[in-house]
Structure 1
Amino acid sequence: MPPSLPLPRSLGARPRPGAFDGSPHFHDGAFHNRRPDTSGVPTESRASLIRDFALKGRSGRPTGPVPLATPDLPADADTCAATWLGHATVLLEVGGHWVLADPVWSERVSPSGQVGPRRHHPVPLALRDLPQLSAVLISHDHYDHLDTRTIEWLTRHQSMVYVVPLGVGAHLRRWDVPPERIVELDWGQEHQIGSLRLACAEAQHFSGRFLTNNTTLWSSWIVATDEARVFFGGDTGHHDGFTSIGESEGPFDLTVLPIGAYDRRWRSIHMDPAEALHAHATLRGQVLLPIHWATFDLAFHAWADPIEWLVREAGDTTLALPRPGERFRILDDLPANPWWRP
């Protein structure tokens, strides 16, 4: 990756005032979840979070090197396959299209390259080894999902469009992405690229890259063709919208859902593994790929707690449990070895 960026550039940009007054989710100068009590981390809990992070020690880190796989990518995208590259970064193959979700290649998820959560493992695929993408999806603008240096590299070396929630385009334009390569959508809107349909769906979260929150929207994504359907959850708390999405858009061949970074103080904005299993069921998913764990230490649980909890409660749910970098096809035998255990 290139050297660390100047701090102001990595912060991105705020959308122009009034740009989203037509959105039913935008009022009083900010975006909102449907539930009024879920706008982010409660202010009164922030002091306790700072204290607990200072005292947590190494509990959120792996005890040894994280096993990686070198992605074995075909020349052409498959009907339905996925390569988890760590945290929320996933390379999807849907109906012959390559779609990259929440790409983060930087060493730290922070506005600075010197401080902030650092990776537990390298990205198992170099940016230069990516195939030609049809689209890049962004779920929201937090640093562990929207990475300035990765965006700049992709803009220079790929020709795909960025499909993003409302407001995120302001960051991309600040980072010299041409406007014609940016598609901004509200929940319920969609964009078509040939046979590929990208639909913006509800999530329950918040946004912000510095002192101001919720000036940009957050979302999940439906990635679909006539041949396959994938739900990418991004970063979200559990909400009743999963049921209506499952009824109107499901069944899904693959759901990609977050299982990590949970805590009692942000239950409304991050799912735990049991909630991810419930969301998968209500979405009418066939295979569940768990994400948002293993790569960055962003909470207070132990490193492997999310995946152990998921496996313990999965029952007859079909799980894909790849090492970072391990590609799998929905129609093949799915990766299931407990590689995270010593």
Structure 2
Amino acid sequence: MLGAALRFAVGTATVAASGWVLRALQGSPKAVGARPDEIWAVARRSPHYQDGAFVNIDPAASINLESEQRNLLIRELIGSRDATRPRKPIPLAVPPKVDTRPLDLAASWYGHSTALIEVDGYRVLTDPIWSRRCSPSRAVGPERLHEVPVPLEALPALDAVIVSHDHYDHLDMDTIVGLAQTQRAPFVVPLGVGAHLRKWRIPDSRIVELDWHESHTIGELTLVCTPARHFSGRLLTRNTTLWASWVIIGPRHRAFFGGDTGYTKSFSEIGMDHGPFDFSLLPVGAYHPAWPDIHMNPEEAVRAHLDTAEAGKGLLLPIHWATFRLAPHPWAEPVERLLAAADSAGVEVVVPRPGERIDPTGQTRTPAEPAPTFDPWWQQES
């Protein structure tokens, strides 16, 4: 997570010294989560945990925030405020009455990296964040560009909640606590992230922690924790918890959730081991030259999809854009670049409005209903 809340993305002493963190922590210090010493006992069992920190398979270049680069980034963030925010309210899908019948294959995008993925009758919720800000504070930090399309308590019964890593825009304390109260599903998380949940009094019986290449089975559903190229941290310490992508496998269909990641050679290995996928949900936003290895740009997302999909098959659904202002690029640029790159590569892309359910099999349509038409809803006139 990067951008207006710069501190959370890079953990630099410069930003901490500015007082942003101190003001933010006046909101809810508990939201910071577990201390490194509370995480260590679980993290140390991983071969990817070295000298007190998790490491990427593909080394990621350090975030470049030398004084000149940092000043440029701050100028871009301040100077691009109009372009990085929509001129009009982002349109939400009008959700139908909650359908308690899960589909064989579907995905509902709720904004950022939060999606409800349906595979062969199972429902998996990804990186849930219902809070107005992705921050430990309710007063400071990146704020939503659109409303939450569905109340948390209106979600249907879930089979699992998966989390990619512990940054605030992917692991939100209030949402996790709310789901623990309204759902019975387990929280399936990368190694170390469970310590945050235990800090928030989520019972151990509801927490499943996995290392890369480990899996968890729920009935006929298999969730595989797979590598990503990123980092972790909720305050000044970094990489004490693992980050991951996720493979979701049912008896007949399978999906891939990229979470938050830079491009990595691991995608082709994931495709060979677990693909091809009927659905790929891949991050396309919050890119910048200062952090080229830990967030994909839209062209890299197309490349990652091709790495994991059978040629000419599988849908690509973009995530990690249009909800929080985390980088200085125009807010709708990621999807415009994605569509151009996907067209050249022959990749089929679906771009739902927040709250919209994508049903590629047409199970929710009657025979008389036509297939939905392409809707460039993000194109806003002045």
TM-score normalised by length of structure 1: 0.95
Uncovered stretches (5+) of structure 1, i.e. residues with no partner: none
Instruction: Please show how residues 127-206 of structure 1 align to structure 2 within 5 Å.
Output: 127-206=152-231
Q: Is the 8 A contact 2:39 2:241 kept in 1?
A: no
Measure how far apart 1:5 and its partner are. Answer: 8.9
Q: Tell which deviates more after alignment, 49-58 or 292-301.
A: 49-58
Aligned equivalents of 1:36, 1:323: Cα separation in 2: 35
1:63 to 82, 87, 107: 87
Q: 1:302 to 1:186 in 2, by over 3 A?
A: same
Q: 1:157 to 1:199 in 2, by over 3 A?
A: same
1:23 to 40, 46, 57: 46
1:193-240: per-residue Cα shift (whole Å, max 9, x none)?
Answer: 001100000000000111111110000000111121000000000000
Aligned equivalents of 1:206, 1:334: Cα separation in 2: 38
Aligned to 2:58: 35
Measure how far apart 1:288 and its partner are. Answer: 0.3
Letter in 1 for 2:46: S
Aligned equivalents of 2:115, 2:151: Cα separation in 1: 13
Aligned to 1:297: 325
Partner SS, residue 40 of structure 2: coil
Q: Is the 8 A contact 2:166 2:193 kept in 1?
A: yes
Q: Is the 8 A contact 2:142 2:325 kept in 1?
A: yes
Counterpart check, 1:323 vs 2:344: no
2:242 to 214, 217, 223: 217
Counterpart check, 1:9 vs 2:37: no
Q: Is the 8 A contact 2:31 2:136 kept in 1?
A: yes
Partner SS, residue 128 of structure 2: coil
Aligned to 2:139: 114
Counterpart check, 1:243 vs 2:263: no
Letter in 2 for 1:41: I
Measure how far apart 1:43 and its partner are. Answer: 5.1
1:49-91: per-residue Cα shift (whole Å, max 9, x none)?
Answer: 4454344332210111101112234221111101000111001
1:123 to 142, 148, 158: 148
Q: 1:255 to 1:5 in 2, by over 3 A?
A: farther
Aligned equivalents of 1:280, 1:5: Cα separation in 2: 41
Aligned equivalents of 1:149, 1:87: Cα separation in 2: 17
Aligned to 1:337: 375
Q: Is the 8 A contact 2:190 2:241 kept in 1?
A: yes
Counterpart check, 1:288 vs 2:316: yes
Counterpart check, 1:82 vs 2:112: no
Aligned equivalents of 1:159, 1:26: Cα separation in 2: 31
Aligned equivalents of 1:211, 1:48: Cα separation in 2: 23
Q: Tell which deviates more after alignment, 310-319 or 131-140.
A: 310-319
Instruction: Please show how residues 246-261 of structure 1 align to structure 2 within 5 Å.
Output: 246-261=271-286
Q: Is the 8 A contact 1:70 1:125 kept in 2?
A: no
Q: Is the 8 A contact 1:5 1:113 kept in 2?
A: no
Counterpart check, 1:227 vs 2:265: no
Aligned equivalents of 1:221, 1:6: Cα separation in 2: 32
TM-score normalised by length of structure 2: 0.85
Aligned equivalents of 2:213, 2:172: Cα separation in 1: 25
Aligned equivalents of 2:109, 2:253: Cα separation in 1: 18
Aligned equivalents of 2:317, 2:26: Cα separation in 1: 33
Letter in 1 for 2:303: H
Q: Higher helix proportion, which one?
A: 2
Q: Is the 8 A contact 1:328 1:334 kept in 2?
A: no
Measure how far apart 1:104 and its partner are. Answer: 0.3
1:252-310: per-residue Cα shift (whole Å, max 9, x none)?
Answer: 00000000000011110000000000100110161000011111110010011001101
Q: Tell which deviates more after alignment, 71-80 or 322-331.
A: 71-80
Aligned equivalents of 1:50, 1:199: Cα separation in 2: 38
Letter in 2 for 1:81: A
Q: 1:277 to 1:302 in 2, by over 3 A?
A: same
Aligned to 2:296: 271
Figure out how many residues of one structure are paired with residues of the other and give that number: 338
